């Protein structure tokens, strides 16, 4: 599926003017609307600011179809039933894990390396009912060492990451109707981001803003990785952009902080390389089976002002 860009004409114009004025790839946040009285109708939320990442390096591979994972010395490209380990310095392929066509591994969608183990998000996409599991591999030998099954749960598990003492994951649902079926594969609006404990038990869950889900449709959330800025970065199936999210202070919907354009990227799984002094974002370009690294202006992204979300009123001000 070709990448799609859905930005309103007014937003496009403002981005162009901002880029010319600054002479950089950074796009400033739009000005917020005027303050309004407590009883006035709520104003439409401002479009989050847009930034652009800079391509740093390209690696040629033969398995970069679903995602990439990374550690200090190696990167690992994921392709359904295969994961290939590459030397980060040279790009040379070193080892490959291959699942048999009739084996239990059907659709590995992404992975993350934690303490020498590669945790892969796995599902039976696009079979019904949806089933998901986490498959664990030894990064030194690439041998399969353990598994955790969710069975039939909240959708298709597409990514997993470790952050702030917990596991985080995405359960995708889709508007696409698989071959041989008559109903959408779960419905994109039912996609969820979950937080799990050390035993992979779900303890919290959030939805993704509808404006982003509409960008994903008819597919869904394919990638997720916690950035060095302490925010969750998520991607869709085919768009060359990442959405920067915060866990909200209240409510069940993630807070959309910014969008970052990723030139040449065609969606799918991502991974922040947190092993060095200069964090880089790893992605893939599936049409050419390449792994890409980006320098991202995460330090220029600021949180939205939420001070107007709450009011405490005294006598004479109560709303009735």
Q: Say what the pLDDT of residue 100 is.
A: 95
| CA-wise closest residue to 169 among 181, 156, 182 | 156
Q: Where are the domains of the chain?
A: 46-302
The terminus-to-terminus CA distance of the chain in angstroms comes to 51
Q: Mean pLDDT throughout 295-308? A: 92
**Numbers of helices and strands, H then E, in the chain:** 2, 21
Q: Say what the pLDDT of residue 7 is.
A: 38
pLDDT at residue 306 above 80? yes
pLDDT at residue 250 above 50? yes
Q: Say what the pLDDT of residue 152 is.
A: 97
Token pair for residue 99?
């699942």
pTM of the model: 0.85
With contact defined as beta carbons under 8 Å apart, do 312 and 319 qualify?
A: no
Q: Of 177-181, 219-223, 252-256, give the lowest mean pLDDT range.
A: 177-181
Q: Mean pLDDT throughout 251-258? A: 98
Q: Say what the pLDDT of residue 46 is.
A: 73
Q: Say what the pLDDT of residue 29 is.
A: 39
For 21, other C-beta atoms within 10 Å of its C-beta total: 9
The radius of gyration computed from the CA coordinates of the chain, to the nearest angstrom, equals 20
| CATH fourth-level superfamily of 46-302 | TolB, C-terminal domain (2.120.10.30)
d(CA 51, CA 53) in angstroms, rounded, equals 7
Q: Mean pLDDT throughout 148-175? A: 97
d(CA 83, CA 63) in angstroms, rounded, equals 7
Q: Of 26-30, 63-67, 204-208, 265-269, give the lowest mean pLDDT range.
A: 26-30
d(CA 172, CA 210) in angstroms, rounded, equals 14
pLDDT tens profile 77-119:
999 999 999 999 999 999 999 999 999 999 999 999 999 999 9
Q: Mean pLDDT throughout 273-295? A: 95
Token pair for residue 210?
């509808």
pLDDT at residue 10 above 50? no
pLDDT at residue 71 above 90? yes
């Amino acid at each position: 599926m070709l990448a799609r860009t859905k930005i309103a004409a007014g937003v496009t114009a403002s981005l162009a003017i901002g880029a010319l004025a600054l002479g950089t790839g950074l796009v400033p946040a739009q000005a917020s609307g005027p303050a309004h009285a407590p009883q006035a109708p709520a104003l439409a939320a401002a479009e989050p600011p847009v930034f652009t990442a800079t391509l740093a390096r390209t690696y040629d591979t033969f398995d970069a179809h679903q995602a990439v994972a990374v550690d200090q010395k190696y990167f690992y490209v994921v392709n359904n039933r295969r994961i290939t380990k590459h030397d980060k310095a040279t790009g040379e392929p070193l080892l490959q894990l291959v699942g048999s066509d009739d084996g239990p591994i059907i659709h590995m969608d992404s992975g993350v390396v934690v303490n020498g183990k590669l945790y892969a998000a796995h599902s039976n996409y696009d079979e019904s009912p949806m089933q998901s599991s986490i498959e664990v591999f030894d990064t030194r030998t690439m041998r399969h060492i353990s598994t955790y099954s969710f069975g039939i749960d909240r959708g298709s598990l597409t990514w997993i990451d470790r952050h702030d003492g917990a596991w985080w994951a995405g359960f995708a649902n889709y508007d696409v109707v698989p071959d041989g079926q008559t109903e959408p594969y779960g419905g994109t609006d039912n996609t969820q981001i979950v937080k799990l404990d050390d035993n992979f038990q779900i303890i919290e869950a959030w939805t993704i803003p509808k404006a982003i889900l509409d960008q994903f449709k008819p597919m869904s959330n394919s990638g997720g990785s916690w950035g060095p800025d302490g925010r969750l970065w998520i991607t869709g199936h085919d768009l060359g952009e990442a959405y920067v999210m915060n866990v909200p202070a209240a409510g069940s919907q993630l807070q959309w902080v910014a969008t970052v354009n990723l030139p040449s990227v065609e969606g799918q799984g991502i991974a922040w390389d947190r092993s060095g002094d200069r964090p880089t974002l790893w992605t893939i370009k599936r049409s050419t089976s390449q792994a890409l690294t980006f320098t991202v202006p995460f330090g220029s992204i600021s949180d939205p002002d939420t001070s107007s979300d709450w009011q405490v009123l005294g006598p004479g001000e109560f709303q009735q």
